Amino acid sequence: MKKSVLTRYRVMAYVTAVMLLVLSTSMVFKYGFDTGEDVTFAVSQVHGFLYIIYLIFAFDLGSKAKWPFGKLLWVLLSGTIPLVAFFVERKVTREVEPLLSGAEPAAARA
């Protein structure tokens, strides 16, 4: 597996997570303070588009890392829960980096 597969997943995980936080904030303003409806619409469209790209890159990484279906599903859904994508990205990076160097993953050694 190439390092670029992990890098593009990481970039999209961070971008998607940040956009989801921005979307959550704009929704608080829209529904809590009755302001920013146009901003919320624009941010939701951008987040939706970026989330689709995130899904493609995460699926590509998962298929190359040979993840079980449950783990792949959790990684794919992490882009829909605020703040979770940051934690999942770190965990995925720790698990996948040994695969890049050809070493055995830490979970398999234990």
Mean pLDDT over 62-68 rounds to 91
Structure tokens at 103: 């070493």
Average pLDDT value for the chain = 88
Q: pTM value?
A: 0.84
- Give the model's pLDDT for residue 1: 74
Domain ranges of the chain: 3-101
Residue 95 · residue 107 · CB < 8 Å: yes
- Give the model's pLDDT for residue 79: 83
Q: What is the pLDDT of residues 76-98, one digit of tens each?
A: 998 888 889 899 999 999 999 88
Residue 24 · residue 36 · CB < 8 Å: no
Concatenated DSSP letters of 45-99: HHHHHHHHHHHHHHHHHHHHHT--HHHHHHHHHGGGSTTHHHHHHHHHHHHHHHH
| Rounded alpha-carbon distances, angstroms, from residue 22 to 17, 39, 65, 87 | 9, 10, 31, 17
Residue for token pair 């929704």: 27
Asked if the model's pLDDT at residue 104 lies above 60, the reply is no
Residue 108 · residue 91 · CB < 8 Å: no
Asked if the model's pLDDT at residue 107 lies above 60, the reply is no
Rounded Cα–Cα distance for residues 23 and 13 (Å): 15
- Give the model's pLDDT for residue 23: 94
Q: What is the pLDDT of residues 13-51, one digit of tens each?
A: 999 999 999 999 999 999 999 988 999 999 999 999 999
